Amino acid sequence: MRHIARIEGFTCYIQDTRVRDAITIVLRQIKERHPKDFARLREKVRGFRWLPRSEDSQRSGTLGQWMTDDRAKNSAAFKEHVEKLARMEIARSYGFNPKSVHPEHVRLVADAKMQDRHTWPGKVAISRRLIRAPRWRLLAVLAHELGHAATNEDDLNTRFEEIGNSEWASEGCADYYAYRWGFGREIRRHSPERDFGHHGGLPGEIINPFNKTWFRVTRNFHYHPVDGPE
């Protein structure tokens, strides 16, 4: 179909040229700076699309969302991909040749991975309101949503154990990847317009999620307890 484009190997269902240009910038920068992250995104991200109109309003405030793809999650191709990941993980853990790993062992590990939503494929959906947004805001939203796609179970569990807030742990993981890929300035510039209660803090800030313990956010979006604001 004419309105579907391929950008750095990803499917793009968005026709707007400014948005497509921004997607290109983000993907190329990730590819150049962190090719392993880029390879993981290629396996997981099924495309870029607009937010559903029912969720895209000024009132909702949502500019982007990582949306899991149930059809892709249940496909034979995704199951084969997860089994391949399981086989390689077992081989690395035990020093086996991947071809010699027992099929039953592969099945058990693959079944567990299939239940982990951090392995599920999906699409990055963004608001039509970004069509007229400055480029830095487009880059911030795209990098952040791709950061959600890049987040794995270890990323999330580590930060949740530190701060005890699953929402802030998830958002911190997404921002960590955006910063890692070189979009920290854009995220920080966009920060005043984001919902602090949803996104949490940025590196160097001291936050208090439960009106109890204060935390300082590190450059890698870990949360270290401190006595309080200085």
Which pLDDT tens digit goes with each residue over 147-164?
A: 999 998 889 889 999 988
HSE-up of 41 (CA within 13 Å, CB side)? 32
Helices 35-44 and 135-150 sit at what angle, rounded to 10 degrees? 80
Percent share of the chain, pLDDT over 70: 78
- Has residue 10 got a pLDDT over 70? yes
- Long-range contacts of range 102-110, CB-CB < 8 Å, 24 or more positions apart? 107/83, 110/79, 110/82, 110/83, 110/85, 110/86
d(CA 173, CA 222): 9
- Has residue 195 got a pLDDT over 60? yes
**pLDDT given at position 70:** 66
Phi/psi for 91 (5° steps) reads -60, -45
Residue among 197, 224, 198 at smallest CA distance from 213: 224
What is the average pLDDT value for the chain, to the nearest integer? 85
Max avg pLDDT among 108-112, 113-117, 138-142, 169-173? 138-142
The confidence band for 79, taking pLDDT boundaries of 50, 70 and 90, is: low
- Has residue 35 got a pLDDT over 90? yes
**What pTM value is reported for the model?**
0.81
The string of pLDDT tens digits covering residues 101-110 is: 777 766 676 6
d(CA 37, CA 30): 7
Element (H, E) at 109: helix 103-115
**pLDDT, greater one: 225 or 113:** 225
In order of 28, 30, 48, the CA distances from 33 in angstroms are 9, 5, 21
